[in-house]
C-alpha cells in the first residue's frame, strides 16, 4: 500500500535488466533519476472557437540518470549503452514503498565526467523503447 506522506529522495532506486528482461537488479552507485511523461498537444482549433483548443496525445516517457563512477560496476552500464539494445528500467521513488514504481523498456545513453576537483560522475539519458507502466499498490 502506498505510504501517505512526503518523502526524502534518499531511498530512491533504479533497478534494471541490461538484457531487457525481468531479472531486475539494483543499478549501483546511482544518485538521481528523472522521469518526464509530457504528452504531445495537437491544435484542434476550429472556425468559431473563441480561443485555441488542444487535445493530448500519448505520453513521451523519457528522463535522465546520474551516478558516481565505480570501476567495479560502471562498465556494465556502458556495455549496455554500447550494445544499443533496450534495457528494462524500474524507477522507484522510495524503496520503503516498493509497490510504487515506473517500469518499461528503455534506450539508454551515457557519458562520463571527470573533474580535477571533484568526483568522477556518470550522466545518462533514456527514452521509452516499449510500453511503460506506473504501478502503485
How remote is the C-alpha of 101 from its chain's centroid?
10
The structure's pTM equals: 0.89
Q: What domain count does the chain have? A: 1
State residue 135's pLDDT score.
95
In-domain check, residue 19: yes
Residue 41 lies in a domain: no
Q: Quote the CA–CA distance of 7 and 70 in Å, as a whole number.
A: 27
Kindly state whether residue 3 falls inside one of the protein's structural domains: no
**44 occurs within a structural domain:** no
Residue 99 lies in a domain: yes
Q: Is 128 domain-assigned?
A: yes
Q: Tell me: the pLDDT tens digits for 1-53?
A: 556 788 999 999 999 999 999 999 999 999 999 999 999 999 999 999 999 99
Q: Which residues pair with 133 in a beta bridge?
A: 103
Task: List the domain range (segments joined by +) for residue 87.
Answer: 9-31+66-136
Domain assignment of residue 113, yes or no: yes
For residue 82, give the 3-state DSSP assignment.
helix
Asked whether residue 112 is domain-assigned, the answer is yes
Q: pLDDT tens across 79-103, in order?
A: 999 999 999 999 999 999 999 999 9
57, 123 Cβ separation under 8 angstroms: no
At residue 71, the pLDDT reads: 95
Please give the share of the chain, as a percent, with pLDDT higher than 70. 98
At 81 the pLDDT is 96
Taking the C-alpha atoms of residue 92 and residue 56, their distance in angstroms, rounded to an integer, is: 26
Amino acid at each position: 500500500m502506498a505510504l501517505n506522506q512526503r518523502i526524502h529522495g534518499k531511498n530512491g532506486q533504479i533497478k534494471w535488466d541490461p538484457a531487457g528482461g525481468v531479472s531486475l537488479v539494483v543499478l549501483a552507485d546511482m544518485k538521481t533519476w528523472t522521469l518526464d511523461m509530457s504528452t504531445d498537444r495537437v491544435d484542434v482549433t476550429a472556425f468559431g472557437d473563441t480561443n485555441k483548443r488542444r487535445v493530448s496525445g500519448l505520453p513521451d516517457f523519457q528522463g535522465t540518470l546520474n551516478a558516481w563512477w565505480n570501476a567495479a560496476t560502471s562498465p556494465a552500464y556502458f556495455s549496455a549503452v554500447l550494445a544499443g539494445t533496450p534495457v528494462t528500467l524500474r524507477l522507484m521513488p522510495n524503496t520503503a514503498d516498493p509497490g510504487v514504481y515506473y517500469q518499461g523498456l528503455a534506450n539508454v545513453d551515457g557519458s562520463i565526467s571527470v573533474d580535477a576537483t571533484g568526483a568522477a560522475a556518470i550522466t545518462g539519458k533514456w527514452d521509452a523503447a516499449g510500453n511503460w507502466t506506473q504501478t502503485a499498490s
